[in-house]
Structure 1
Amino acid sequence: MSSFTLWITAVLASITTGTPLLSAKVETGLLNLDVDLQHVDSSIKSLFLPGSPNSNAPGNTTSRCKIYPGDPEWPSDKAWSQLDVLTGKRLITGPTPLAAVCYPGKDYDAAKCAGYTTPVWQRSYVHMDDPIEMMSPVAQGLTCSIPSLYDSKGCTRGGFPKYVVNATEPKHVQLAVNFARNTGVRLVIKNTGHDFLGKSGGKDALSVWTHWMKSIDYIEKYVDEKLGYSGPAFKAGVGVQAFEIYRAAHEKGKVVVGGEGETVGIMGGYIQGGGHSPLTGLYGTGADNVLSFEAVTADGKFVVANSTSNTDLFWALRGGGGSTFAVAISVTVKAYPDLQVTASRFTISSAVTGKETFWAAIRAYVDSFIPNADAGTYTYATLIPTNGTFTFSFSPYFAPGKSKKEATALLDPFFTSLKDLGIKFDPNVTHFDHFYDAWRSSFPLEAVQKPNVATASRLFPRANFETKEKRQEYFDRIRASSENNRVQVHFNIQAKDPSNNDNAVNSHWRPLVSFSMQSVRWPINSTAAEILKIRKDFQAGDMQSWRDISPGAGSYLAEADRLEPDFGNAFWGDKYPRLLELKKKLDPQDLFYAATGVGSERWRVESVDGLPNENGKLCRVD
């Protein structure tokens, strides 16, 4: 199919759903075989052609593993050079990890290394604009870290890719997809690198870096009769982050459903994985609010996926997980009128209250979960053990659409319990006229994960809070985890289920009342065997105790553990069988792979240390 035909197809799909036509910039940004490949040497031209995977291509059907340096099938320097030329010199070769400045070699820079103090290094702003950095260094393999945090005894690329296409147009993505499919080289997709499981990394892979696809267009009236929507929308490039889309929406007097973290790439893996939000209690998950995608599929074609065009892909991309079914180029999402917000932030500590009084306060807090979830509020609460003491924080309690009086009424039962226990606290209940101001004021900046931490999660349903006995059972388990030195984060929310909106979002989100996470740590210089045992024991112990009291529940795929058992059911619930079928249909050769992604059970990363990370070859399971 010619690029002109692709263009016409996209235009017709846009007309059907009432979206604006694709811009001329996107039209000229599509791969045109007749023009773009006319001067490519015939000996390598086939590497850049679209189409179904060639059964004879290396790594597709004949090789156990993807193709790696040293393999006879590894692409020639000439082929890589041609990819660079075709993408407008946007191929980054052998990208250097940021921490390389701390180790002997050509990149050593003592001054830069000294500037990377631990607090600076763990700020997501330091890493988000880098082509390879991942915010989960454990998943990368810890092969290049700042010595003050973790001495990696030198700097190697490890689980970072070997080549990166800095994609700013669809054809950059199309060329990278075609090249990876036709050569058998592993392909990864990276936006900002926030995923807890390290989905944006891959040893010696070719990475499609979508971070600089930053366009934002406001659509005053978008009509999709099939989805039952008529109203404002934003069409945003897949690289747009939370702070960018929230600001753009605010300027139009609107809000969109996105994450609480400032630097998360809202239109990338976040929205494709479901995505919880401070507005989830009112409007559902991020994926529930998608109206249309522009994407590049495994055969290298640029498509529009919406309620009437490429409907299977549209269904899968809304919750089926990033880096799995296609490479998103842009996403069109619903917009809502701006709204008032009331927030509260405060902290109590057992060092002040005494241990049993502290835990009585936490038990009282659990009693408020259902009323607050039903009211559409969003609580980000932390529970942190430190040398035998415990700290609880509202970070924050966030009540969108609620006046100060309404939010205070919801908080009063818990606050009354704290006062009855003799606990002194300042609730800092603050009213904001605009969502954007409340969001900027309330949430902490997300941090890069520590080098000795793994986090797992559970989506606790309403059934865990409907009776006094069930609430006590839940409380007992989270207290036991705290006393076992597990840092915890609890989001008290309800994932509202929008009407007329069938999609791939994990069915375990719908009865949700608490999305809860806990983390395990290990001594910083532990051996690989010791780390693996600690992580497995954590799953068999603390996490299993949470699973035992929530049978049939699940986990959130973006904030989870790579060792999550039965991840298909945990991350997608009753949607998983259909997702598996669509994976076979849309990507039959598994060009797209992501750790614990749909169909990933057919593959494994054979890491050099045996730990669950990206520092090894991606090979088929025997």
Structure 2
Amino acid sequence: MARRSRNGLSTSFWFAATLAAASTATPILFGGDISRLVDSTLKGVSSNLKGLFLPGTSLSALIGEQRCKVYPGDANWPSDLAWETLNKLTDNRLLTKPAPQASVCYNGPLYDGAKCEEITATWNRSYSHFVDPIEMMSPVAQGMTCLPPFVFDSHNCTRGGFPMYVINATEPKHVQMGVNFARNTGVRLVIKNTGHDFLGKSGGKDALSIWTHHFKNIEYIEEFKDEKLGYSGPAFKAGVGVQAFEIYKAAHEKGRAVVGGEGETVGIFGGYIQGGGHSPLSSLYGTGADQVLAFEVVTADGKFVVANSTTNTGLFWAMRGGGGSTFGVATSVTVKAHPDMPTTASRFSFTSEKVGNETFWAGIRAYVDYFIPNADAGTYAYFTIIPNIWTGIFSFNMSPFFAPNKTLEETQALLQPWLTRLDDLSIKFDPNITHFDSYYEAWRSSFPLETVQKINATTGSRMFPRTNLETEEKREELYRNLRQSSENNRVQVHFNMKTVDPANADNAVNSAWRPMYLFSQQAVRWPVNGTAEDTLKRRQEFQTGDMQRWRDISPGAGSYLAEADRLEPNFGQAFWGDKYPQLLELKAKLDPYDVFFATTSVGSERWKVESPGGLPNENGKLCRV
């Protein structure tokens, strides 16, 4: 058996193991020849370090039973020479201790007052963060250790939940090297695409991060056939770094549309599509994961493989809905392309300021009566209900009511019954119903830009099925619970939609998506400068209070893993329902040493981030439970 040393690991692995993996790999569409990993890249690496970069699982047994991942200061932390070798093997794409953006705001060698003012002005815009190798769009999950003082004064800047090393990957071999290195050393590994995950899955204290943002290739395939999936038609193959605004534009130029989220900067071929992914097109075509025809993936043992309906079928099943950062690192995804379509959208708002709270809520109650027919018609309504604790005023915002493949007249007919009831209540609004010639133009004009999550809030979610809406009694019960949450000062975000399954997809998507007609989120807030103890108490009370009320009226339903609370109880059932046992079996088979970990991911109950103050964030060591 190989022995560890302070400088790395020695090993008796054969290069033949790597050659076998290379010979069975499907040719890479985006990147170089995979054989370079074997007979060229490792040349010149000292014998006592080669074991750190080879594929397989044998070395993992050496570190598989230690309580925590390996961290700086531990005896087994890789040597500087090992990190330097990783840099060379990834074509000098290893970033060492990338500084948090807000470090320019604090005393030290990076202080720059003008730069601090610049980043503060745009801090809440997602465009300011996805281009950065470490920034996460959830400061709460990061640990709140380095934000612009105007946003939150952390008094100094520390790394908190940010990784220590980042591989700026542009080829599959870069990903392979990172996975092999993490597996064979025990260093914590995280995967970051855009950083959109609000649970903090793209971060980890002192981890090695693989940044996939620059896998940007897009290929249009006029005719893609998969008899087993029962699909024959157009498709797009895209690198996982491709974002919504990029693929939607590319699809539009081909007269097509693809299923993706409403947020324009989301990397929809990464965690979004692997977690299921709801879409403005879900009422017509289903979830993002339902569209997948194939993945190219680096697995936990360092192999680069294709996963589709006939090859690596277990991996293919799991990665379509089983969650990102769990079963492998995708480098490309092939998805169905649908015909472009004219689309109509409506944006409007009203408040309780002039009509009073009871009339305002009567307008909301009237809307609940139309959730079923609107979703059955294939629409996607994105709306918020926002309380103002200081004024007592409630606000409703429809942003937007989105009707793919609907004419202006058809959309007006769908909305008119509810709008007439609003008129009867003397609620003033301007429906602003607009028709667009294409899906892309409607999407680009209708949805708001995502903002970075607040510093003193987190969100829980629930999928309410049709049974919550089928009778007057059940609609009233749902309405009362939504109103109670608003009166308890919970900001709410809702999506009235369906997630159909036209192809009868067999994948890991939570079955609770299929009967759902309302996807609902509510947020808990706490004092910005509150203690860790008080913050944790409020978050726990939110779960046992307002969130439990929502669970109680929707027994057997679920939650969406990408828009949820890290404290969601029994998250396996909530996020995957009856598919969780099968996912656990596949996790044990595909990643027996837990190379991949993300909070609330499949199998993550075996681990815990030991954060200061006990708060649910990434600012602590990852250790076994």
* In 2: Cα distance, 1:395 partner to 1:484 partner: 23
What amino acid is aligned across from residue 289 of structure 1 in structure 2? Q
Q: What does residue 372 of structure 2 align with? A: 370
What amino acid is aligned across from residue 104 of structure 1 in structure 2? N
1:405 maps to 2:420: no
* TM-score normalized with structure 2 length: 0.96
Q: What does residue 15 of structure 1 align with? A: none
1:84-483 map, 5 Å = 84-117=87-120, 120-386=122-388, 387=390, 388-483=392-487
* In 2: Cα distance, 1:142 partner to 1:609 partner: 13
For residue 114 of structure 1, report the CA deviation from its aligned partner.
1.3
* In 2: Cα distance, 1:31 partner to 1:466 partner: 60
SS of the residue aligned with 1:457? strand
Q: What does residue 44 of structure 1 align with? A: 49
Q: What does residue 554 of structure 1 align with? A: 558
**Is the contact made by 2:60 and 2:593 (CA closer than 8 Å) also made in structure 1?**
no
Gaps of 5+ in 2: 1-15
SS of the residue aligned with 1:372? helix
For residue 132 of structure 1, report the CA deviation from its aligned partner.
0.3
* Structure 1 pair 484–530 and aligned structure 2 pair: CA distance change class (3 A): same
1:484 maps to 2:499: no
Q: What does residue 76 of structure 1 align with? A: 79
SS of the residue aligned with 2:279? coil
**Is the contact made by 1:2 and 1:32 (CA closer than 8 Å) also made in structure 2?**
no
* In 1: Cα distance, 2:613 partner to 2:162 partner: 15
Q: What does residue 14 of structure 1 align with? A: none
* In 1: Cα distance, 2:572 partner to 2:305 partner: 27
1:538 maps to 2:542: yes
What amino acid is aligned across from residue 462 of structure 1 in structure 2? R
Q: What does residue 503 of structure 2 align with? A: 499
RMSD of the TM alignment (CA)?
Answer: 1.2
* TM-score normalized with structure 1 length: 0.96
For residue 29 of structure 1, report the CA deviation from its aligned partner.
5.1
For residue 3 of structure 1, report the CA deviation from its aligned partner.
6.3
* In 2: Cα distance, 1:590 partner to 1:124 partner: 31
**Is the contact made by 2:369 and 2:475 (CA closer than 8 Å) also made in structure 1?**
yes
Count of matched residue positions in the alignment of Structure 1 and Structure 2: 608
For residue 6 of structure 1, report the CA deviation from its aligned partner.
4.6
For residue 8 of structure 1, report the CA deviation from its aligned partner.
5.1
* In 2: Cα distance, 1:454 partner to 1:304 partner: 37
**Is the contact made by 2:19 and 2:38 (CA closer than 8 Å) also made in structure 1?**
no
**Is the contact made by 1:53 and 1:589 (CA closer than 8 Å) also made in structure 2?**
no
* In 1: Cα distance, 2:312 partner to 2:35 partner: 18
For residue 497 of structure 1, report the CA deviation from its aligned partner.
1.3
Q: What does residue 528 of structure 1 align with? A: 532
Q: What does residue 11 of structure 2 align with? A: none
SS of the residue aligned with 2:400? strand
1:2-59 Cα deviation digits (max 9, x unpaired): 6665555344xxxxxxxxx643x5342565222111210111110001001425433x
**Is the contact made by 2:22 and 2:34 (CA closer than 8 Å) also made in structure 1?**
no
**Is the contact made by 1:2 and 1:33 (CA closer than 8 Å) also made in structure 2?**
no
SS of the residue aligned with 1:176? helix
1:332-372 Cα deviation digits (max 9, x unpaired): 00001100111000000001221111000000011110001
For residue 376 of structure 1, report the CA deviation from its aligned partner.
1.0
Structure 1 residue runs of 4+, over 4 Å off?
1-8
* In 1: Cα distance, 2:28 partner to 2:42 partner: 24
What amino acid is aligned across from residue 71 of structure 1 in structure 2? D
* In 1: Cα distance, 2:441 partner to 2:21 partner: 42
SS of the residue aligned with 2:522? strand
**Is the contact made by 1:31 and 1:174 (CA closer than 8 Å) also made in structure 2?**
no
Identity within the alignment, %: 69
* In 1: Cα distance, 2:508 partner to 2:292 partner: 12
* Structure 1 pair 205–600 and aligned structure 2 pair: CA distance change class (3 A): same
Q: What does residue 10 of structure 2 align with? A: none
For residue 425 of structure 1, report the CA deviation from its aligned partner.
1.4
Q: What does residue 37 of structure 2 align with? A: 32
1:54 maps to 2:69: no
* Structure 1 pair 146–53 and aligned structure 2 pair: CA distance change class (3 A): farther
* In 1: Cα distance, 2:245 partner to 2:22 partner: 32
SS of the residue aligned with 1:47? coil
Gaps of 5+ in 1: 12-20
